[in-house]
Amino acid sequence: MKDAGFLQKLWRWTKRIFLILFIAQFVYIILLKWIDPPITLTQLSSWITGHGLKRDYVDRDEISPNAKLAVIASEDQLFVDHSGFDWKSIQKAMKYNEKKPGRIRGGSTISQQVAKNVFLWQGRDFIRKGLEVYFTFMIEKIWGKERILEVYLNVIEMGEGVFGIERAANIYFNKTASNLSQQEAALIAACLPNPKRYKVKPASSYIMGRSRKIMQQMNFLRPDPDIQAVIFPKVKTDKTKK
């Protein structure tokens, strides 16, 4: 009887804790629609392991359209069209990984990368991947594309210990993110698959070639009206003025 009573109390407390955690994470997701993540596990890990933590968050209207377009062209060309997941790319990555298990290829969208980098930890275990699906779904529904892209460009690692487009622009080109040219944005985007391995400066022949391909894709994608709506900040108008 005592054991049964203890198990009932344990179950009640487990449900309460789970409910509190669920509400807390839900509120956190909503808050991050307007405020910047104070820190991420990836950033914290970089600092603890001695790789450094250099970052500067900026608003979406302080980021060059070239930077926004470059990461879409390099990382997720269907970003404005999908609802968080590019199932064809995921299937291709799975087939590739089955054939070559020693060389892992990812099929993550920008939305999935934001979910992983803001809320979770790095890794490929099933628990993290399952949580990634949940958080990707939530930010797509609550944040919207413009906010997802803004957060991505602020939290993603763009060099060893370098997080976000503003600090990357400062370090590599001695300018702000708002003034990045197409070529400069493409060079930064070219290193994103592995920013600890690939360098913006000095850029290898591989990165230079990759950046040229990204610029070609940028020119191809730029006229798309849906992409235009995401990469260019909305003009703020004063409705009281006539």
Amino acid at 28: Y
**What is the pLDDT of the chain when averaged over all its residues?**
87
> Which has the minimum average pLDDT: 119-133, 171-185, 227-241?
227-241
Report whether pLDDT(53) > 80. Answer: yes
Q: How far is residue 177's CA from residue 168's CA, in Å, rounded to a whole number?
A: 8
177: closest CA among 209, 207, 154, 144? Answer: 154
Residue 5 forms part of a structural domain? no
Beta bridge partners of 84: none
CATH of the domain at 79: 1.10.3810.10
Q: Is residue 27 part of a domain?
A: no
Structural domain contains residue 1 = no
242 in any annotated domain: no
22 lies in some domain: no
Confidence of residue 14 (pLDDT cuts 50, 70, 90): confident
**Parent domain of 148:** 40-231
**Of the given ranges (36-50, 78-92, 112-126, 133-147), which has the lowest mean pLDDT?**
78-92
Arithmetic mean of pLDDT, 24-31? 95
Nearest to 207 by CA among 178, 232, 172, 164: 172
Question: Does residue 167 belong to any structural domain of this protein?
Answer: yes
Given a cut of 60, is residue 188 above it in pLDDT? yes
Q: Which residue has the higher pLDDT, 188 or 106?
A: 188
pTM listed for this prediction = 0.86
- Region 40-44: mean pLDDT is 92
pLDDT, greater one: 47 or 238:
47
Examine residue 224 and state whether it is found in any structural domain, yes or no: yes
Residue range 194-216, pLDDT digits in tens: 998 999 989 999 999 999 999 99
- The count of domains in the chain is 1
Q: What is the pLDDT of residues 81-127, one digit of tens each?
A: 998 887 676 666 555 455 544 444 456 899 999 999 999 988 777 88
Q: Give pLDDT, residue 48.
A: 92
Give the distance from CA 46 to its chain's centroid.
16
pLDDT of residue 104: 42
- Structural domain contains residue 182: yes
Distance CA 215, CA 213 (A): 5
Give strand pairing partners of 54: 162
